Copies of this chain bind each other. A is one copy, B any other.
Amino acid sequence: MPDLSGLFTPDRVAIVGANDEEGSVGRALLKNLSSFDGDVIPVNPNLETVLGRECYSEIGDVPDAASIDLAVVAVPATVAVDVVRQIGHAGITDVVVITAGFSETGGEGEQREQELIDVAEEYDLNLVGPNCIGIISTPSGLNATFVRGEPPVGSISFISQSGAFIAAVLGWAAQHGVGFKDIVSLGNEAVLDEIDFIEQWSDDPDTDVILAYLEDIGDGQRFIETARDVTRETPIVVIKSSRTEAGAEAAASHTGSIAGSEDAYEAGLHQAGVLRAMNIEEVFDYGQVLAGQPLLEDDDIAVVTNGGGPGVLTTDAVSDSRLTIAEFGDDVGAELADVLPGEADVANPLDIIGDADIDRFRESLDIVLGDESVAGAIVLCVPTETLEFDDLADAIGDLQGRHEKPVVTCLMGGEEADRAANTLEPYGIPNYFDPVRAVSSLEVLAKYRDVTEREYESPEAFDIEKERAREILLQAAERDVDHLGVEVMELLDTYGIPIPASDLAESASEAESIAEEIGGPVAMKIVSPDILHKSDIGGVEVDVPIEAVRGTYQTLRERAIDHDPDATVLGVQVQEFVDPDESTETIVGVKRDPQFGHLVMFGLGGIFVQIFEDTAFRVAPVSEREAREMTEEIQAAPMLQGARGRTPADVDGVVETIQRISQLVTDFPAITELDINPLVVSPEGVHAIDLRLTVDRETLPVETARETDG
């Protein structure tokens, strides 16, 4: 891992492409650096001085050039690579390339970016960009960007894959008291990417929270591994855009990147312990509250208000969230009754009535925060003649500090509310107008508690027959097809997934003898690489008694030929029949995502997946805890768990099957798609009834380094 601290703590900064022309990037950079603590050295071959500073022709001409800590490049694209080479040659390792005209423009630009990468490699540069708006580090006043706005000092560090996003939020954030430590515009991420900065800031004592605007994640597996560690200590909040098809199209047109599936991002970010924000306000709300307030130790909170209506709205919002309205302890009720007027109801939400003054507010909140059953509080106040918001803000700040429980406020109003928000800022207490936002902020303190409490468990390595699995896949591949089906059910057997007794029959009599050996009714399925959806052409018959097996064999073959006279029919699979009564059909599926690798899916079969889209996803490898979460987070979970008097199904069997499938696809990355549909689950166990599989035959023999065999 590279040490990137030099980017943020330079003493001497060179601006290559410094300029004094109105509206130029070079001039804006110099202006933004005017309050920087260190030295700023302009470089431009066409100028002798820039804005009163001596200007050098090239970086090598600067006296003691090797002691320059940071070089910012804002020269035309055509000369940018040469300039970066000179910088490397001068012995400078931290570089920000603002210049655009690289891979985002395609063609020539892509080649230029490759050259830039080569130079960076040659000189071992920590290179940000190209095609970015620069970086900021507030403690030293380093604002090496060309956009307007001066963010206040704080403990939030922020990366963005969109420079415009940074430009959009700087002024707004300052207005709303959001303070930053470092800000990085990632640009094309030719060298340094989002993961590098997440890693960097996890070791930065001055960064309490990491925020990120991301349009894509280059290496999903590396992201999960890194962020999973970082989020134990430092919360990461991500706003991930291009979530939708139209959004992804829009993003592709301005960055040229291909987005992975939203399901993969959702799963990957969750597994990494990343908190996800769904709009811009949320990112900064979460950042502020995580930076300013302690975690919520459990989910029970109190609401203290001087107005009924806002109290009710807040209670609704709490009910919509994972938080709950705490029940006050008995003693606490009596204490509150002492300080409240007779007509006040001692209940949570606590309405201390419209004529409450500062003392009533202070005393009530003190009692409430002292209650063991209260983990945190929301304080609401509407403007009245009986108190001043500013005094209340100080009282709340003081009480929050003494009780060390998180508090957020809705001191609701116009300018007086803004002033109170300023008063609350040094206490790290965010103030909102809308109670919905206050609840959502407090809730994130509970969500992050979960992340910190989550123990990382390695995926289980089951005892499997990897060699036999490889042989089955290779054999299948020899048949020159990409799509495999029920004929490779044995593959599941090698990874310990229960399958019905089964064999491939190539004649009617063979079918009959297989059925006799199985003993009892069988299911029969046509096997043909040319027929993907067997049921649709009548290629499946179930509950076939032994005496009907011969006839059914012929019927199935005829249907296949009727459907497609040229279809290669390999035979008919004769399977032990698993009675669907008293059992539930589920699906375990896998897809290979371009960013995250294998994504494992679980859901109930048929319409539950197709119409209700009631599915759960995790990026492989999937641990036991994660597999269990998958069975719990689908809406239909009660159907497996034994709702309304049903016998609970073998959920443990499902959990194990998910893990074993995860192990299979991790061992054989060439598997690009896999579906066990259905995986029938009964109280007695699970049975994989049918299988579809797509392999990338090119990479089939290749396997991962991770050996799980024997």
Contacts and interface: CB of A to CB of B under 8 A. Distances in A.
15 contacts: A28-B385, A149-B414, A162-B307, A164-B309, A168-B412, A170-B383, A172-B412, A175-B415, A243-B319, A246-B316, A247-B315, A250-B349, A254-B345, A280-B436, A611-B643
Interface string A317-339: 11110000100000000000000
Interface stretch (A56-64, A446-454, A633-641, A679-687): A633-641
B320 A244 contact: yes
A78 interface: no
Contacts of A345: 253-254
A349 to B, nearest CB: 5
A23 interface: yes
A417 B316 contact: no
A354 interface: yes
A324 to B, nearest CB: 8
Interface string A148-178: 1100000000001111110111111111000
Identify the 9 closest CB pairs spanning chains A and B, nearest first.
Answer: A162-B309, A164-B307, A171-B414, A244-B319, A254-B308, A168-B412, A247-B316, A165-B309, A171-B413
Contacts of A636: 607, 611-612
B312 A247 contact: yes
A221 interface: no
Nearest to A313: B241
Contact of A383 (B171, B305, B384): B171
Nearest to A251: B312
A310 B251 CA distance: 10
A610 interface: yes
Contact of A315 (B170, B244, B607): B244
A436 B175 contact: no
Given A318-B246, A319-B244, A383 B149 contact: yes
A171 B610 CA distance: 49
A241 B312 contact: yes
A351 interface: yes
Given A172-B412, A241-B312, A612 B610 contact: no
A242 B149 CA distance: 42
Given A281-B433, A611-B638, A247 B319 contact: yes
A241 B607 contact: no
A343 interface: yes
Interface of A: 23, 28, 105, 146-149, 160-165, 167-175, 213, 215, 239, 241-247, 249-251, 253-255, 278-281, 305-313, 315-320, 325, 343, 345, 347, 349, 351, 354, 382-386, 412-417, 433-437, 536, 607, 610-612, 614, 635-636, 638-639, 643-645
Contacts of A383: 147-149, 167-168, 170-171
Contacts of A316: 241-244, 246-247
Given A148-B383, A307-B168, A309-B161, A325 B246 contact: yes
Contact of A162 (B146, B308, B384): B308
Query: Which of A244, A309, A319: most chain B Cβ within 10 A?
Result: A309
Contacts of A162: 307-310, 312
B382 A167 contact: yes
Interface centre among A162, A306, A345, A417 (most CB of B within 10 A): A162
Given A23-B386, A162-B307, A254-B312, 7 more contacts: A147-B383, A171-B413, A175-B414, A244-B316, A249-B315, A253-B345, A612-B635
Contacts of A312: 162, 215, 241-242, 247, 250-251, 254
A633 to B, nearest CB: 14
Tell me the dominant secondary structure on chain A's binding face.
helix
Contacts of A165: 307, 309-310, 313, 382
A435 B281 CA distance: 10
B413 A172 contact: yes
Contact of A610 (B243, B386, B536, B643): B643
Contact of A171 (B174, B417, B435, B437): B417
Contact of A310 (B105, B146, B164, B320): B164
A345 B104 CA distance: 12
A106 to B, nearest CB: 10
Contacts of A239: 313
A165 to B, nearest CB: 4
B253 A315 contact: no
A253 B347 contact: yes
A78 B412 CA distance: 33
A76 to B, nearest CB: 14
B382 A164 contact: yes
Nearest to A311: B250
Given A215-B309, A312-B254, A354 B164 contact: yes
Contacts of A23: 385-386
Q: Which of A170, A278, A382 has the most CB of B within 10 A?
A: A382
Nearest to A307: B164
A412 B169 contact: yes
Contacts of A105: 343
Contact of A433 (B170, B172, B254): B172
